[in-house]
């Protein structure tokens, strides 16, 4: 008999009932160190007092109004995002994949309005992940995601990750945009080197294309800058954001330049919940913390400490791990042992990590991780690795 919850997930036998900082409590009382943050969502950890206050204060006043009316919390969050990024304008969604939908629509509408309606194609890369909506799966294009779900949304050209010549060769009079994650998350924590991001920006400029960055996983302070592309000194035309921006409340956004957003006039897009007062009140509190340079400096300091410990872990367990990769607190351990075995051994040793493609386990801890948490992370991952070795 089919379970009452549609069985689309392979769930671990864990039932968390409470969270605090980087710690999760299981229904049976065990305390787990959370190095996954709900897959890069709980950027400020669990139950951060400022977020609890923002949510509960807002909940006592107004939960929801339609986007038929002005929403002050939405305006405030958009202003903060515009102030701290390349963007001139923001549309709020509830998730990353909805941000993908709009990014694609926005790019196509831009060229349509410029009198180039044939420019509909978007270049994407293998190993990418842009969510599970029709545009998201068509953009990623992997067999695992698209099989059985045809006909797919047309207009995506899938290229080899890291092959810049392939990008140039793929550009035709139909090309509208390049869509890329500055650091692939689901694909196995694969950062795009700064020189490559710069080159992609240049290719877009040379060919009049839009650069769309998917910072759903790598954005919001995760790599130690507010957004990951800042390390490369470039800016996109359109950017997808979600996960960390709501700190655990469902919230996403598309940020864009005035030029790239020029086609999105009244009536061209909308959302019932996107930009709702609850989500945006929380988003404002998240931004107030993460956009603070002192906070980001701390992320970088802790990232260096964690990375150092992980390098030691890899050296101590050469049969289990191959290398540390990633940027800031978006780290991956490329495994030699099956990554799912390592994640499972982590559960046994009360530490949460997240599997990814390419036999990697992801460490996406709360950005508020403490030095004690880092020491605990090492101890627990070390025990997990020893358990894998013993089998
Ligand atoms: C890079 C990236 N883009 C898009 C998405 C989709 O986001 P959501 O699950 O909120 O729809 C994800 C989710 O993991 C992601 O990592």
Burial 137-175 (b: 16+ CB within 10 A, else e): bbbbbbeebeeeeeeeeebbbbbebeeeeebeeebeeeb
pLDDT for the residue 78: 99
> Rounded to whole angstroms, how far apart are CA atoms 16 and 275?
28
pLDDT in tens, 356-381: 999 999 999 999 999 999 999 999 99
Has 216 been labeled as part of a binding site?
A: yes
Q: How confident is the model at residue 214 (pLDDT cuts 50, 70, 90)?
A: very high
Residue 108 has what pLDDT?
98
Q: What DSSP character marks residue 194?
A: H
What is the rounded average pLDDT for all residues in the chain?
98
Nearest to 134 by CA among 153, 157, 114: 153
Q: Is 317 in the pocket of ligand 1 (CB under 6 A)?
A: no
When pLDDT is averaged across residues 181-190 and rounded to a whole number, the result is 98
Q: Is 219 in the pocket of ligand 1 (CB under 6 A)?
A: no
Strands of 156-159's sheet, edge to edge?
Answer: 89-93, 252-256, 238-241, 210-214, 175-180, 121-125, 156-159
Tell me: is residue 28 an annotated ligand-binding position: no
133 lines ligand 1 (CB under 6 A): no
**Residues of the chain with pLDDT > 90: what percent?**
100
Predicted TM-score (pTM) of the model is 0.98
The answer to whether 132 is a known ligand-binding residue is yes
Closest CA to 117 of 70, 155, 80, 79: 155
List, for residues 41-63, the tens digit of each pLDDT value: 999 999 999 999 999 999 999 99
**Cα(129) to centroid of ligand 1, in Å?**
7
Does the beta carbon of 217 sit less than 6 angstroms from any atom of ligand 1? yes
345 HSE (CA, 13 A, CB side): 21
Is residue 188 lining ligand 1, measured as CB closer than 6 Å? no
pLDDT, one tens digit per residue, over 218-270 is 999 999 999 999 999 999 999 999 999 999 999 999 999 999 999 999 999 99
Residue identifier of the C-alpha nearest atom 4 of ligand 1: 130
Q: Whose CA is nearest to atom 13 of ligand 1?
A: 131
Rounded Cα–Cα distance for residues 142 and 128 (Å): 8
Pairing of strands 89-93, 121-125: unpaired
Closest ligand 1 atom to residue 186 Cα is 16
Encode burial over 18-39: b for 16+ CB neighbours within 10 A, e otherwise: ebebbbbebeeeeebbbbbbbe
228 neighbors 296 (Cβ within 8 angstroms) = no
- Distance from Cα 156 to the centre of ligand 1, integer Å: 18
Which pLDDT value is given to residue 387? 98
Is 268 annotated as belonging to a binding site? no
Topology of the domain comprising 65-291: 3.40.640
19 is in an annotated binding site: no
DSSP β-ladder status, 175-180 and 121-125: parallel
Helix (H) or strand (E) holding 254: strand 252-256
Q: 118 labelled as ligand-binding?
A: no
**Predicted pLDDT at 264:** 98
Model pLDDT for residues 333-355, shown as the tens digit of each residue: 999 999 999 999 999 999 999 99
- The CA 95 to ligand 1 mean position distance, Å, reads 7
List, for residues 263-286, the tens digit of each pLDDT value: 999 999 999 999 999 999 999 999
Element housing 370 (H / E): none
- For the CA of 215, the closest atom of ligand 1 is 1
Atom of ligand 1 nearest to the CA of 184: 1
Atom 6, ligand 1: which residue's CA is nearest?
131
pLDDT tens track for 83-123: 999 999 999 999 999 999 999 999 999 999 999 999 999 99
Residue 293 pLDDT: 98
Question: Is the N-terminal amide bond of 264 cis, ω within 30° of 0?
Answer: no
Alpha helical stretches, state H, the chain: 37-40, 49-61, 72-84, 96-113, 134-140, 143-146, 164-170, 194-207, 277-290, 293-316, 339-348, 371-390
């Amino acid at each position: 008999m089919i379970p009452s919850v549609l069985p689309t997930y392979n769930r671990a036998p864990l039932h968390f009932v409470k969270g605090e900082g980087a710690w999760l409590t299981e229904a049976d009382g065990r305390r787990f160190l959370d190095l996954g943050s709900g897959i890069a969502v709980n950027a400020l950890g669990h139950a951060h007092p400022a977020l609890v206050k923002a949510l509960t204060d807002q909940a006592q006043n107004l939960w929801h109004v339609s986007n038929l009316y002005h929403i002050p919390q939405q305006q405030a969050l958009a202003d903060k995002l515009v102030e701290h990024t390349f963007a001139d304008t923001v549309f709020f969604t509830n998730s990353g994949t909805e941000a993908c939908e709009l990014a694609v629509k926005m790019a196509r509408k831009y060229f349509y309005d410029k009198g180039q309606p044939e420019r509909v194609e978007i270049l994407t890369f293998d190993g990418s992940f842009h969510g599970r909506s029709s545009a998201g799966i068509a953009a990623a294009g992997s067999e695992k995601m698209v099989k059985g779900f045809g006909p797919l949304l047309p207009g995506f050209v899938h290229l080899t990750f890291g092959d810049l010549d392939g990008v140039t060769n793929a550009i035709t009079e139909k090309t509208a945009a390049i869509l890329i994650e500055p650091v692939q998350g689901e694909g196995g924590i694969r950062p795009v080197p700064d020189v490559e991001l710069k080159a992609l920006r240049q290719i877009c400029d040379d060919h009049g294309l839009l650069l769309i960055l998917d910072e759903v996983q790598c954005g919001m302070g995760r790599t130690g800058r507010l957004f990951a592309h800042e390390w490369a000194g470039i800016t996109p035309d359109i950017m997808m954001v979600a996960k960390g921006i709501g700190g655990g409340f469902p919230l996403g956004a598309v940020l864009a330049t005035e030029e790239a957003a020029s086609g999105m006039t009244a009536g061209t897009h909308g959302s019932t919940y996107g930009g709702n007062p609850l989500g945006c009140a929380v988003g404002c509190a998240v931004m107030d913390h993460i956009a603070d340079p002192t906070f980001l400096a701390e992320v970088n300091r802790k990232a260096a400490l964690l990375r150092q410990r992980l390098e030691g872990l890899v050296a101590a367990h050469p049969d289990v791990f191959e290398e540390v990769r990633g940027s800031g607190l978006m780290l991956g351990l490329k495994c030699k042992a099956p990554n799912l075995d390592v994640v499972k051994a982590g559960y046994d040793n009360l530490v949460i990590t997240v599997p990814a493609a390419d036999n990697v386990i992801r460490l996406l801890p709360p950005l508020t991780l403490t030095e004690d948490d880092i020491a605990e992370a090492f101890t627990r991952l070390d025990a997990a690795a020893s358990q894998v070795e013993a089998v």
